[in-house]
Amino acid sequence: MSDKGSTHEIVEELSFFLEDTLSQLSPGLHIIIDVHVKRVLGKSLPRALVDEPRRVYDVLSEIMSESAIKVLESALVQMLRRIGVFVDPNLITNLKLNNNKAVIDAARRYVSQRRFTLTPRSSQQITSRKGNQGILYK
């Protein structure tokens, strides 16, 4: 796990990142993966990515083939690249090595980039689609 930022902040950034990006790739994909992770690991996808990245990869491989995981990884990396967020191309594959640094870094870069492209205000509240209060950016 990354030593920068609190665990709560990391989970919040991952939550926003995953909901937003996976929904753009395929509506409902985030929900399907999150529900399966909760069923198997007993915690949300963002929390599991922080606590048990290798087990998240194992859960993904229960519902997707290795080639489907690579396609998802490639599509996610390409989508992020199109909006100016450059990340490790092994974003998901690194989880197999129990390494969550790339996905945490991607979430931080995405949230940071979105902070500057959202409607200008004195402060901007990022809220998850579930209605949970997100992170306040000024």
Residue 35, pLDDT above cutoff 80:
yes
DSSP state of 10: H
21 and 27 Cβ atoms separated by less than 8 Å: no
Residue 126, pLDDT above cutoff 80:
no
Q: What is the mean pLDDT of the chain?
A: 86
- Domain around 121: 7-137
In a domain, 2, yes or no: no
Residue 53 structure tokens: 């990245």
In a domain, 1, yes or no: no
Residue located via tokens 């994909």? 29
In a domain, 131, yes or no: yes
Residue 114 pLDDT grade (very low, low, confident, very high; cuts 50, 70, 90):
confident
Residue 38 pLDDT grade (very low, low, confident, very high; cuts 50, 70, 90):
very high
In a domain, 53, yes or no: yes
49 and 56 Cβ atoms separated by less than 8 Å: yes
Residue 134, pLDDT above cutoff 70:
no
In a domain, 89, yes or no: yes
CATH code where residue 64 lies: 1.10.1200.200
Residue 121, pLDDT above cutoff 70:
no
Residue 76, pLDDT above cutoff 80:
yes
Residue 41, pLDDT above cutoff 70:
yes
Number of domains making up the chain: 1
In a domain, 98, yes or no: yes
Residue 138 pLDDT grade (very low, low, confident, very high; cuts 50, 70, 90):
very low
